[in-house]
Amino acid sequence: MPTTVMWFRRDLRLADNPALLAALETARADDSAVVGLYVLDDVLWRRAGANRLAYLRESLRALDEACGGRLVVRRGDPVDVVPRVVREAGAAEVHAAAGYEPYGRRRDDEVAAALDGPGVPLVRTGSPYAVAPGRLFTQSGGAYQVFTPFRRAWLEHGWREPVHRPRQIPWADLPGEDLPHSPEPTARLPRAGEEAARRRWRDFLDDGLADYPAARDRPDLAGTSAMSVHLRWGEIHPRTMLADLATAQSDGAPSEAVATFRSELSWREFHADVLYHRPDARTRSLRAVVPDDAWTRGEQETEWLTAWTEGRTGYPFVDAGMRQLLATGWMHNRVRMVVASFLVKDLHVRWQRGAEHFMAHLVDGDVSQNQLNWQWVAGTGHDAAPYFRIFNPVTQGEKFDPDGEYVRRWVPELREVAGRRVHQPWKLDTPPADYPAPLVDHAHERKVSLDDFQRGR
């Protein structure tokens, strides 16, 4: 029997999956079966940290169950693996959602070229985004470099309605491979899979959306959706979420809450668009803001970077965030900005070092979001925060963790310190002996950063 291959990548779901529907349409026209394929790409496997790999294993298990146990997992270079599966299955077409990150674009072009020999097309349908990167342009025909006009164009462009989940899929029975052993995760991971994503999203719509504008900046509260992990793996499509937001608004959800959450989805798509046009942004600053000699190097960089990664800087709000990352594979977004600012502008360590650490531990680690958010904080990206915007780790903690609950949750050495005093333990009559003194003086390092910025101008 002939087959059609559905190559899953960043779309580990069956609902609202246009590429899957396209594969199914071809299969029905040819009276053929569908091979559900996932390729464990050695390049991406080596780059990913233990938390992300462990989560991927669980997400693939959930997808395999949804596919009736017939998801075909193969490991290797997709340029070799996909044509091999096509030959084994006698497939006439390969279907996939388009990839837009730098590596994904190269990979897909190489796979398409490899399939040209046997005359099998790689059909790319849909994307991981509501509006695909590279779709929107300014009036002068250039790429957007400022978020607000991008968001305006994004809203005006709009997106299609979600597509239905197929009721029956004639999955082909093709042998796969056991999921390879992955390193033990360092974090307690959330439940993976499409059903888990839908449950979490429904719970947020019911109980969290109305308070989102005010609560989203409070790491001591469960005020965010925590949907970034599910979006990263495509266990839910942003288009589905946007449709649900519109329904929620029509059912009485506050307009401000809907608009605020929709704007966060737009930020995600803005960063994907920036990386699409500037693939070098993955590792290079889009613009220089300080002289090269401003950065800490050598033994001091190693010492300060290590203290930061371990949550031992002596600044409780920073340390709580870094320990949350190690313990859960996730960090509250407000805290991500504060810890990033502290590394770049208090410790004067290049943003690439921090981005590398985040990618090694974040379950929601996504190249465009991670790298461009770091560039935003560092002041080096498009529409970035000005370099002279330097987060004060004490006042940020006092404002967004006013009772110190977040710090006490993640920094056990400070659990006996009541209230907001926890944000400045060095001012206590008897500072906790097992908690470090501040690594640097924020006021001094702020002045150093501002002086470096002036020199850079």
Annotated binding site for FAD: 212, 224-228, 261, 364-366
Residue type, 274: V
Return d(Cα 260, Cα 216) in angstroms, integer.
Answer: 10
The pair of structure tokens assigned to 205 is 């719509």
| Dihedral-angle region of residue 209 (phi above 0 means left; psi in -120 to 50 means alpha; beta otherwise) | alpha
